[in-house]
Each structure stands twice: as C-alpha cells, then as structure tokens.
Amino acid sequence: MSFMESTRAAGIDPVLAQSFRVSARCGCFMQAARSLNIKSTQLRKHLAQLETQLQCSLFNHQDNGLALSREGLQLQAQLIALAHEHDVPVIEQPLIRLAVAESILHDILGRDLVSLLRRNASVRLDIITLDSELSLRAVSADVVLWLAGTESPLPGPSFPVSEPQPLARLDYLPHIAKRYSRVAARPDSLDDLADFMLVQWQPDRQVESFRPWNGVVDQRLAGVVQLHSYELMLEMIRCSACIGLLPNYMSQFDRGLVGLSGLFDQPMQRQVWMAVNAESAGQAEVQMIVELIHNTFNERREWFEA
C-alpha cells in the first residue's frame, strides 16, 4: 500500500470506515446494519457519505447481494492493512442473563426475542429455561420470568431481586385439536374424557392449582402419556388427538386448538411474575430486556383477558 493510499484510508471517519468494512464483509446491507446495531437507512447514509467523499462507487449491486467495485476492493485492502497496524480490539458486550419459564418462552416471548436478535446481532444473551421450582431456586440471572400462584410470587428466585411484578394471570383448560373433534362430539364432562388419550407435561404434576386435572391423569390405567418436553406435548395435542392442559390463550397462539370449558368446577390459574436482579437492574442492556418483556405482554393483553 502506497503512502498516499494509506493516508487517504487513514483520513476516513472511523464510523464511515466501520460501516464500509462490515458491509463489505457481510455482502448485505440488512445483515451489516444488524451487526452494527443501526438501522439500514442509517447505514446507507454512511456509505453514500463515504462514496461522496471518495468520489467513487464502492459497491456493485447484483441479484444475489452486493459485490465490491474495483475501488471498493482497494479501499477494503487499505482498511484491513490499517486495522492490522493498529490492532483494534473487539469491544466486549455485557452478558445479559434471562431466565424464563419454558412455556412462556415458547408461547409468548420467543418471537420478540428473535426480533431483538434480528435488530442487534452484537448482543450477548444467555437464555435459561425454567421448568420447575428447583430450577427457579438454582438459577442466577439478570431478569427472571416465572409462574407461581395468583396471590404470591413465592417460591421465587433465591438471589436478591427487585419487587416482583405480576404480568398476566393465566387460566388453564384441557385443550384438543379442532380437526380431531366435531363441536357436537367434544367432551363436556369428565366421564367423556374416557374416550380420549390424555397427555401431561411432567412439570405440571407439581403445581398445586392443577390438582383437579392431575387427579384425572393419575386415575388413568391406560390412554395417558407423560413427558418432559413442552413442545412435544403441544405436538401430540395438535397431531395425535390427545387432550392436554394448556393456558387459555393457546387458542390465540394456535387457532387449530380449542379449550374445553366446563369440565372442572374449580378454576386452575397461575400468575406470570417478573423480577430483576438487584445488582444489575440499572444496566441499560437489562432495562432493554425488561422493556421488551413489558411491550410483549402489553401487546398480547387480549390473550390473557379472553
């Protein structure tokens, strides 16, 4: 690299240089914007500003993505050489630990977490699933979402946390796939359940408020499946004509499922609680996750009020 080329590359604004380097590496404006944690429109402005400054086009647009022009290849080589000379370190991102009840992660929060990662590819997120009181007591995290009684968040996390916040009250009903049951033939009494296979997620056996349902399952001598996978339980209800206990919002999550009301006199309810680690509550990255959770539950408010 000549002295003139080195001086030219070194004189580029670091933000513009970084925008170009990442775009050249990714070959895609959208992916580059995610990696830089900025909007794609802002990234394009940076690149347009750089091209104006250098008075040349740095990219050739192709059907399957971006390709560097001759001038772009030259600039990339110059910037790589400069980066090696200065040995610029990668900025470490703080690790955010999110512990969340498995069913809440699968049904409610998962989609918005995926959207967060699409917008910010540099985030460091440790997602821990909770499927029992034991796992809740053993976990250490920055943000915790768990299921407990409707009146009290106990048992809760074992480390110091902020005041637990109730996010949603969940009613639970036995559910069946619509395609396996005509309206007129759907069970409307406990005796009618004898003609159907029951499926139970094992962690629900420990839930006190589910005693009516657990009693029916425990009495079964045949036609019952118990398993540890929440996702597999859902699949069995969808595809195997099984009946299983699910939150009442499930018919909103999956229009092919329907709740069977009127089978039990005693309501089966749980509350979603959230708390933040007292030591990390003030961190901006933790507050970002807390805000995402609040927005998710607010947007799905009708799921819990139906």
Q: Are 69 and 56 in contact (CB under 8 A)?
A: yes
Higher pLDDT pick, 32 / 282 = 282
Q: Are 230 and 241 in contact (CB under 8 A)?
A: no
Please list, in sequence order, all residues whose beta carbon lies within 8 angstroms of the beta carbon of residue 289, skipping any fewer than 6 positions away.
Answer: 96, 98, 125, 142, 143
Q: What's domain 171-268's architecture? A: 3-Layer(aba) Sandwich (3.40)
Confidence (pTM):
0.73
Beta strand 257-259 with 59-62 is unpaired
Residue range 187-211, pLDDT digits in tens:
888 998 988 999 999 999 999 999 9
How does the average pLDDT of the chain come out, rounded? 88
Q: State the helix-helix crossing angle for 29-36 and 40-54, rounded to 10 degrees.
A: 100
Q: Are 80 and 72 in contact (CB under 8 A)?
A: no
**Type of residue numbered 41:** T
- C-alpha span between 275 and 153 (Å, rounded): 10
- C-alpha span between 143 and 97 (Å, rounded): 7
Dig out the tokens for 61 from the structure. 């647009």
Q: State the helix-helix crossing angle for 3-10 and 70-86, rounded to 10 degrees.
A: 80
In this structure, what are the phi and psi dihedrals at residue 78, rounded to the nearest 5 degrees? Answer: -65, -45
Start-end of CATH 3.40.190.290 domains in the chain? 171-268
Residue range 6-50, pLDDT digits in tens:
556 677 888 888 888 888 888 888 888 888 878 888 988 998 998
Q: Is the pLDDT of residue 58 over 90?
A: no
Mean pLDDT of 224-250: 94
Whole-number pLDDT of residue 152: 94
Whole-number pLDDT of residue 283: 93
Q: Are 286 and 180 in contact (CB under 8 A)?
A: no
CATH of domain 3-86: 1.10.10.10
Residue range 250-273, pLDDT digits in tens:
999 999 999 999 899 999 999 999
In this structure, what are the phi and psi dihedrals at residue 300, rounded to the nearest 5 degrees? Answer: -105, 25
Dig out the tokens for 139 from the structure. 């976990």
Residue range 62-95, pLDDT digits in tens:
766 678 888 888 888 888 777 665 544 556 788 9
Start-end of CATH 1.10.10.10 domains in the chain? 3-86
Residue range 135-171, pLDDT digits in tens:
999 999 999 999 999 999 999 999 999 999 999 999 9
Whole-number pLDDT of residue 80: 78
Whole-number pLDDT of residue 7: 58
Residue range 222-234, pLDDT digits in tens:
999 999 999 999 9
Q: Is the pLDDT of residue 98 over 50?
A: yes
One CATH from 3.40.50.740, 3.40.190.10, 3.40.50.10440, 3.30.460.10 for 95-168+270-305? 3.40.190.10
- C-alpha span between 59 and 67 (Å, rounded): 6
- C-alpha span between 216 and 200 (Å, rounded): 11
Number of neighbouring beta carbons within 10 Å of residue 264:
17
- C-alpha span between 20 and 16 (Å, rounded): 6
Whole-number pLDDT of residue 99: 98
